[in-house]
Amino acid sequence: MACGQFGRQPELCVSMPAPDLAAIDQGEASARAGLGLHHLRYVLAAAEQGGFRRAARRLGVQQSAVSRRIQELEGRLGAPIFERGPQGVRLTSAGEDFVRGAQGAVGELDLAVDRATEAARADHATLRVGILAGLGGGVLQDLLRQLVAVEPDLALDLVEGGAEVLAAALGQGRLDLAFLLTPPAGLVSTPAWRERLVIAVPIGDPMTEATSLCWSDLAGRRLLVVEPIAGLVRDLAARRLGSAAMLGRAGAPASLARLVALGQGLGLVGEGDACRATGVVYRPLARSFLGFDAVLGRRPEKPVVRQLLALLPGVA
């Protein structure tokens, strides 16, 4: 039996780490002194170059700006950092201690910036897509295959879950987008595609002789559906048959096909998720479709999201 099944269950329990109070306290002394990053860079440049003029040239600023900021810092610290002389400047004992600490601080800050930049690049190169549990074959697989063909470095993170779970993840900004049958309120969505509903029929059933089926053909028959479309099928059956349908549920299209092959009922599934199975054939259900919407998550939109949306066939 072969059918497209992919994804992982999202971990939706979010625990926020307690703030690092020690790290917060570490910044109080520099805050009280009005110490900024520019002070550190001016001091380090002057110490390295041995003079304010050469430091200013190195930093691309006016010498007066370097001199003024360093004097300002010395006044706030209550101790000189440099000894001035006709040949330039040299560090005082207090200045040497300050520079050692400043070098470490600036180095750690640069490292933190580099790490954050790399993390942002990695996130930018990852597309997090939500799919309904038990669905996701057919059109969606073709769309993602096209996207990866033009973006070979793209990493796909496919998150499988129920409609409510995926809607929550979208609202919390943990998914870039998801494909749902009913778009949740408050989120941006656009029609993505529609798929024909098909009926899985066991070999030997008289319905296999038909090239297509109508809802009236299903009257009195037990219908098997996968969970994501159960509500939709129930509503369609009530409108088309005028009575409640006898519904059984399967966890996935593959399970549905097995049950049909065992004579447990007729199966209803989207055409893209119709699994090949021994003892089962599929027939289209007239004038019956599943309409999928692309729903955007509450997070900055990535260019690759726009690329994927441009590939959508729509519902025309």
Same-domain pairing of 205 and 185: no
What tokens were used for 198? 């098909």
Residue 6 is assigned to a structural domain of this protein? no
Same-domain pairing of 188 and 299: yes
Predicted local confidence at residue 237, as pLDDT: 81
Q: Which of 95, 123, 151 is the last residue in one of the domains?
A: 123
Predicted local confidence at residue 117, as pLDDT: 55
Same-domain pairing of 80 and 213: no
Same-domain pairing of 31 and 119: yes
Same-domain pairing of 134 and 87: no
Predicted local confidence at residue 13, as pLDDT: 36
Residue 199 is assigned to a structural domain of this protein? yes
Our count of domains for the chain comes to 3
Closest to 82 measured CA to CA, from 57, 37, 45: 45
Domain hosting residue 221, numbered range: 194-288
Q: Which of 91, 123, 155 is the last residue in one of the domains?
A: 123
Predicted local confidence at residue 177, as pLDDT: 94
Residue 109 is assigned to a structural domain of this protein? yes
Same-domain pairing of 297 and 167: yes
- Whole-model pTM: value is 0.61
Alpha carbon distance 85, 43 (integer Å)? 16
Residue 230 is assigned to a structural domain of this protein? yes
Q: What is the CATH number of the domain that holds 63?
A: 1.10.10.10
Q: What is the CATH number of the domain that holds 201?
A: 3.40.190.10
Same-domain pairing of 36 and 91: yes
Same-domain pairing of 165 and 303: yes
Same-domain pairing of 274 and 306: no
Residue 1 is assigned to a structural domain of this protein? no
Same-domain pairing of 210 and 266: yes
Same-domain pairing of 173 and 298: yes
Residue 20 is assigned to a structural domain of this protein? no
Residues 274 and 229 sit within 8 Å (Cβ to Cβ): no
Write out the chain's pLDDT in tens, 316 residues.
556 444 444 433 333 344 444 444 454 555 555 577 778 888 888 888 888 888 888 888 898 888 898 898 888 888 898 999 888 888 998 888 888 888 777 777 766 665 655 555 555 578 999 998 777 677 888 999 999 999 998 999 999 888 889 999 999 888 999 999 999 999 999 999 988 999 999 999 999 999 999 999 998 899 998 888 888 888 888 888 876 667 888 888 889 999 999 999 999 988 888 888 899 999 999 988 888 999 999 888 888 999 999 999 875 5
Same-domain pairing of 219 and 151: no
